[in-house]
Amino acid sequence: MRFLILVVMLLTIGGATLAAQPAALLQVKHMARYAITSWSQGKPRLVNINRAHNGDFELRAKVNGVAAPMVIDTGATSVVLTYEAASAAGLPLDLANYDVDLETAGGRVRAARVTLDRVAVGKLVELSVPALVVPRGQLRTSLLGMSFLNRLESWEVRPDTLILRGYP
């Protein structure tokens, strides 16, 4: 009986703590959902991306269910979408507030904060991913940055392959 009371108390304290931090709660819910799904399937979640001729790791991700060409950019703090990719993904760009200074290979640009409902790269699916959107014509290709990569169990670069490993 004492054990049951202790478990209930710990769950209550943990729930109250997470409720005070909505972002942490979303992350815990997300990890729990995918841990249960992966455990029931018993398959590792791996994606291999081959290096392109130009040296980049290019891929087609799905942002809110819509295909978007992207380049892996470990130097980008966040996923960064072109205006066109964000528009195709159904983001409300009319209300976007471009108040984030961003340094890109092409120079400084202002970006708007958004949250992507779903980002999928092969078998790897992440929910509620923080991202940035740049104005029309400011970026050639969307970037898959660390706001996505940090959610993975690991990622590693081999000579011509990038291996993304999701949590089991």
Residue 103 tokens, joined:
């340094």
For residues 93 and 100, give the distance between their C-alpha atoms in angstroms, rounded to a whole number. Answer: 15
Check residue 83 and give its pLDDT: 96
pLDDT of residue 104: 80
List of the chain residues with pLDDT < 50: none
pLDDT at residue 140, as a whole number? 92
Both 88 and 115 in one domain: the answer is yes
What pLDDT is attached to residue 4? 64
Pairing outcome for strands 79-81 and 124-133: parallel
- Of how many residues is the chain composed? 168
Per-residue pLDDT, 103: 87
Range of the domain at 83: 46-165
CA distance 20 to 98: 28
Same domain? 85 vs 35: no
Same domain, 92 and 30: no
Q: How many domains does the chain have?
A: 2
Residues 34 and 67 in one domain: no
Task: Give the whole-angstrom CA distance, residue 30 versus residue 47.
Answer: 19
